Structure 1
Amino acid sequence: MLPLFIARRHLFSRKSHSVINLIAGVSVVAVAVPVMALVAILSFHNGLADFIGNMYSEFDSDLCVTPREGQWFDGDGLRQRIEALPETETVSATAEQNVLVTYSDRQWIVSMRGVDSLYGGVVPIERRIVQGRYRLRHGDLDEAVIGQGTAYALGVQTALPEPLRLYAIRPGSGNPSFLPVGLYNEARVRPSGIYALDEQTDSRYIFVPLGFAQRLTGAGNKISSLEVRLREGVSPETGKRAVEAVAGTGFDVKTRFEQKETVYRMVAQEKWIIYLLLMFVVLIAALSLVGSVVMLAADKEKDREMLLAMGGTPRLLRRVFAWEGVLITACGVAVGLVLGVGFAVLQQEAGIIRMAGDAFLMDAYPVRIDPFDLLATAGGVLLLGTGVSVLTAAGLSKRK
């Protein structure tokens, strides 16, 4: 293409060394810096999103089966049908209900989750233990694993022998604002471990043996949910369809994403909000192309007149000026992508940006480079740069 050839000669000719080239170089840097920032920030966001996903994978099962009406159901038959599916690896029964916990002179409302012996094979919550151990039975004694937020609120230490007192409303007692003690079921359990996940979760959930929870709530042999772990290589959607087929219309089957849909959607939306905000910064940087193209046009006045004398048209001149802006943008994008990817790799290998404290159980911010982010960044910046260059070239043409 003749316009591209002329534009490239204007910008990169070895004999062309002037203040115009310096201005073009500044425009390249002005585009490269926000591109680098966009790549780095999106990579950091990807890393944090993966961390959140991995964190919740250690608390939420691949699939959760709950009754569509009511809280409790007899899960023996359904459990056997789900276990027989080729898509499922392990199925665990749980019984969950809100209870009042007292320890010494402190009180706290928590969601008690009673789990069976297979629960650790479905949800690896033991990976999040920060004090004590994940153990729900010690001989004939029932034990509990509590969240770090609950432990802080109650002042619990696993090394101390004092048990937790749990109070649950007896079935059929209603739910008035003030209840006499006689309408509660009470039981004691010793804390064996403390886990840490996020502030909302570990301030809310405690884990106890399934039989203990059923006795305390008066549920008998009934359960409140079935937690399913899928076999390696089975997608959540495929597993969900298989479980729904055997569960029937009386049960809801939710994937891990659907169990924490608000959190995952918020993370995804935040990423594209960040992208749009930084693209505004790129747009401002792209406006520097206006000055560069105008100065290049002024510097090449004699060349432009010569081109017109040789039979060139105003349309050809517009395309030459537009291509000069596009080339400057492309150089800025290329430099920005290289710097952004390099910074992300350096963070991944060396962890140069550290997290304050140990709240997230990691030293440095995680990163993950997504090729789609690189394409979206390059495409968006090139589109903006091209638009600014074309409009500038059209304006120069009208003035001549």
Structure 2
Amino acid sequence: MNISNFIARRYLFAKKSRNVINLISFISFLGLLVSAASLIIILSGFNGIQKYVEDVYGKFTAELYVYPKTGKYIKETDLIFQNLKETNEIHYFSKVIEGTALLKFENKWVTCVIKGVDPKTYNIKNWGENLLEGNALLKENGLKKILLGYGVQNELQIPFNENFSNPIKVFSISKEKKLSLQNKQSLNQNHLIFGGVYTVNPELDYSSAIVSYEVANEIFERKKGANYIEIFLKENEDLSRIKNYLTENNSSLVFKTHEENNQLIYAANDTEKWMVLAVLIFVLILSSFTIVASITMLIIDKKKDIKSLIALGANPNTIKKIFFKEGLMISYFGSLGGLLIGALICFMQIKFHFLKLENAAIDYWPVLVKSKDVLMLLVILFTTGFVSAYLPGKLLIRKLLHS
């Protein structure tokens, strides 16, 4: 039988030792329990938000984007188009024309960003799931159609009807006419049929509309080419390798992944996540100091026991191990218990969605528990627990033995 383990358990669980030291030990245990549970819950909450954002934007975005390094336009004659056609890992790519235009329906006006794409894009991304009404056909029976974000459609107050024939007027700045605020004829005008309503996220819902690539060429009077290119890869392809390959062969262009294209969103979420984590780790360290206090008080309280053990032949290392192991038990029981409780709460949220969100794009708070976060927290918790258990036994026992 390991004597240090036996005595450490006796000091921690003995019924006769219900005193202020045990109360402090319990407070230390409780502090670690709450801190560990909070850490896993908060991290999983941020992971859930990030996963939700990725899912929402992923339905609407490509894996890779191509932009001109200088200027605003990629010419049809650029080598990139030939490179994309010859790259087997690419499933499809779409030239995109994007610009700001003024939409009018009856007496309602709204400004929005019009995106012109190849209609095949939405078949690839199964984008019809984002439609509230209508379909993703941008051209049907010879009619040029426009899809509106939910907010744009709401501002124009357009009632949906499959046989709807009253067109939406699209005004854009003409390259061939002199702009005049008094004469709307100086603007380029196009008439489009309302084809449907989509919802992606509040930012896009209230500021965007979608037309075919050909119609966008007419609206903005562009020749062949694109403002940027969207690239869709085949399944399980190495995005980083393909990006590097295309970059090496097209030095005049800039290539961005989906995450890089939405860097501000991901950076803001990561910054908030690690700032909150830093605060919680600081609280955890403070909780660990209560273990130092409780073990220190226990050592002082057990002076007679220490003398008796030494008289019976126990060496200094055995004495140190007794109090070190008690500190470890408090720390590790609290840490593991907190992680288990936190993980249980997270899985209950995933299963039952008991934490609701009001007036949000999703009805409940999304949660995602990642194994790497659990491992990281275990390392942090066990490290702080080890240090807080080691210090009082190492320093105070040596001082007592010398005295």
TM-score (norm 1): 0.87
Shift of 1:237: 0.7
The CA distance in 1 between the partners of 2:240 and 2:354, in whole Å, is 38
1:352-385 per-residue CA deviation (whole Å, 9 max, x = no partner) reads: 222224x32x433222211111122222233333
Alignment-derived partner of residue 370 in structure 1 = 370
- Structure 2 residue corresponding to 1:234, chosen from 237, 247, 268: 237
The residue correspondences of 1:1-400 to structure 2 (distance < 5 A) are 5=5, 8-11=8-11, 18-19=18-19, 20-21=21-22, 23-75=24-76, 78-159=80-161, 161-171=165-175, 180-246=183-249, 248-310=250-312, 317=319, 320-357=322-359, 359-360=360-361, 362-393=362-393, 396-397=396-397, 398=399
Cα distance change, pair 375–177 in 1 and its aligned pair in 2 (3 A):
farther
Q: Find the residue that maps to 2:203 and give its secondary structure.
A: helix
Secondary structure at the aligned position of 2:363 is classed as coil
Consecutive unaligned residues in structure 2, runs of 5 or more: none
Aligned length: 396
Structure 2 distance, partners of 1:355, 1:161, is 39
Structure 1 unaligned residues grouped into runs of 5+: none
Contact 1:67 1:252 (C-alpha < 8 Å) held by counterparts: yes
Deviation at 1:178, TM superposition (A): 5.4
Distance in 2, Cα, partners of 1:177 & 1:264: 42
What secondary structure does 1:254 align onto?
strand
Distance change (3 Å), C-alpha of 1:153 and 1:280: farther
Structure 2 CA distance for aligned equivalents of residues 141 and 108 of structure 1: 22
CA distance in 1, matches of 2:43, 2:70: 42
- Distance, in Å, in 1 between the alignment partners of 2:277 and 2:183 is 56
Instruction: Name the SS of the counterpart of 1:86 in structure 2.
Output: coil
Whole-angstrom CA distance in 1 between matches of 2:123 and 2:71: 27
Residues 247-269 of structure 1 show CA distances to partners (whole Å, capped at 9, x for unaligned) of x2222221111111111122222
Distance 1:391 1:133 in 2: 68
1:84-117 CA-partner distances (Å, limit 9, x unpaired): 2111011122211111222333332211111122
CA deviations over 1:104-155 (Å, ceiling 9, x no partner): 3333221111112221144443221123332211211111111122223333
1:301-357, Cα deviation, whole Å (9 max, x unpaired): 321122343566767655543442232111101111111111112222222222224
Contact 2:28 2:330 in 1 (8 A): yes
Partner amino acid for 1:113?
K
Q: Offset at 1:230?
A: 0.5
Decide whether the 8 Å contact of 1:168 with 1:186 is kept in 2: yes
Higher mean alpha-carbon deviation, 193-202 vs 50-59, is at 193-202
Moved more, 20-29 or 186-195: 20-29
Task: Determine the C-alpha separation between the residues in 2 that align with 1:156 and 1:215.
Answer: 23
SS in 2 for 1:287: helix
Give yes or no for contact 1:10–1:16 (8 Å, CA) kept in 2.
Answer: no
Deviations 1:40-71 (A, max 9, x none): 22112212211111111112211112222322
Q: How far did residue 7 of structure 1 move?
A: 6.1
Q: 1:373 to 1:4 in 2, by over 3 A?
A: farther
1:315–1:144 distance in 2 versus 1, CA, 3 Å: same
State the 1:295 CA deviation.
Answer: 3.8
Q: CA deviation at 1:8?
A: 3.2
Cα RMSD after superposing both structures: 3.0
Q: Is the 8 A contact 1:85 1:242 kept in 2?
A: no
1:4–1:370 distance in 2 versus 1, CA, 3 Å: farther
Partner Cα separation in structure 1 for residue 150 and residue 7 of structure 2: 63
Decide which moves more: 189-198 or 119-128: 119-128
